Amino acid sequence: MKKTVKDINVAGKKVLVRCDFNVPMKDGDITDDIRITSALPTIKYLVSEGAAVILMSHMGRPKGEPKPEYSLKPVADRLSELLGTEVIFAASPQVVDDNVKKTAAALEGGQVMLLENVRYRAEETKNDEPFTGELASLGEIFVNDAFGTAHRAHCSTAGLAKYMPSVSGFLIEKEVKFLGDALESPERPFVAIMGGAKVGDKIPVIENLLKKVDTLIIGGGMSYTFFKAMGYEIGKSILDEESIELAGELMKKAEQMGVELLIPVDSVCAKEFDNNSEKAVFDRDKIPADMMGMDIGPETVKLYCDIISKAKTVVWNGPAGVFEMPSFAEGTRAIAGALAESDAVTVIGGGDSAAAVEQFGFADKMTHISTGGGASLEFLEGKELPGISCLEDK
Ligand code: ADP
Ligand code: MG
């Protein structure tokens, strides 16, 4: 267990807080502020305890240069609205300079400031000096609450922990609790649902989950790599050529371990990757050469929803089909609906799966929706996350 902000005295201290304010932007406006609202509990707690709060985050990939389109100024404005108090924005292309140091030094307990995008500095993603030291000079305590970047060792994540007492914020605490409990002490049956497009990325996750779950369900684009490994033709479906062999090995492994590994039995196929394309349902061994699998079919939906209804813990990563197109959203919607109806502990990891659950209106029916796509995947893979392991133990 890692120490949290509640385990230390922050009153009157300068507290550096790494958040994940990497919000989607369009024409200078924030299109979804969930990452900002997710950070509020920690910020509000620190303010109420009388800490001088210095916030840090990255946004997008400015690649180590100050690029105005990646400025955190809009985040400072939104935060000010949400907190109902001014968030001082330290607008410096170097992120830390003499002015910023002065502002930080003058910051009083209960006040909040936000630094400019830490990825304006090339050192950030290399976890290199002098940037880490410059950041460290601003504060006395480090709080990491950026789950979305916890799988990266950067200056503002793992780097700062070498300089000062370091603890987690409430968001990281919550993520670790829900993802960790699901993996380490799940109520059974424990079912994992894996889907989405990136099979290669997800094979290590499947491998780790096989050791933990009772049933592993495969859906989405990765199904076709498994079909291929089973010897079926998949037409124009998405395929990860390099992962065919591994998919075959995973099936064997599951059998040896006595874990139920379910591959879709049928598939909604289309002529083109287009919502309006001609479509039809085929059994998994009968996909025509001129068509591509876009969603799990109705038989698969029935089978999967039945398994989900009996589960006590479900972890879901990756949509069951091309849910962005209404014609191919049914499988994903049905799974999300089954999760919403179930009384199991339901944990959603992965950016697109979270978006799907949100889109279908089931978000408030889930036990936990992870805010970190890549980080939650690495967590499920069983990897140590450097932004978390660097924090003090209780
Ligand atoms: P997550 O972000 O939840 O981890 P991924 O990024 O791995 O999920 O995959 C999400 C994407 O997978 C979605 O954009 C979806 O359209 C796509 N996808 C799902 N099924 C298929 C399929 N059969 N063919 C092509 N793409 C698919
Ligand atoms: Mg994704």
Q: Convert the pLDDT of each residue in 313-362 to its tens digit.
A: 999 999 999 999 999 999 999 999 999 999 999 999 988 999 999 999 99
Residues across the chain: 394
Q: Which of 3, 44, 73, 198 is catalytic?
A: 198
Query: Cα of 380 to ligand 2 centre, how many Å?
Result: 15
Give alpha helix (H) positions in 168-310. 170-184, 199-210, 223-229, 244-257, 298-310
18 catalytic residue (yes or no): no
Looking at the chain, the whole-number percentage of residues with pLDDT higher than 90 is: 95
Active site residue 169: no
* Catalytic residue (choose from 50, 64, 374, 382): 374
Q: Give the pLDDT confidence of 83-122 residue by residue, as tens digits.
A: 999 999 999 999 999 999 999 999 999 999 999 999 999 9
Reply yes or no on whether the pLDDT at 199 is more than 90.
no
Angle at 319 between CA 267 and CA 314, to 5 degrees: 110
296 with 279: CB under 8 angstroms?
Answer: no
Ligand closest to CA 354: 1
pTM: 0.89
Average pLDDT of the residues in 140-154: 97
Instruction: Say how many Å lie between the CA of residue 392 and the centre of ligand 2.
Output: 31
Mean pLDDT taken over the chain? 96
Distance 42 CA to ligand 1 centre (A): 32
Q: Spell out which residues line ligand 1, taking CB within 6 angstroms.
A: 196-198, 220-221, 238, 293-294, 317-319, 321-322, 324, 350-353, 373
Over 90: is that where the pLDDT of 198 sits? no
CA of 129 to the centre of ligand 2 (A): 32
Our mutation pick for probing the ligand 1 site, out of 236, 266, 322, counting the most ligand atoms within 8 A of Cβ, is: 322
pLDDT at residue 373 greater than cutoff 90 = no
Answer yes or no: 387 catalytic.
no
Q: What is the pLDDT of residue 99?
A: 98
Contact between residue 287 and residue 267 where contact means Cβ atoms under 8 Å apart? yes
- Placement of tokens 């996350």 in the chain: 385
Give residue 310's Cα distance to chain centre.
Answer: 26
Give the residue from 165, 220, 224 showing the smallest Cα distance to 195: 220
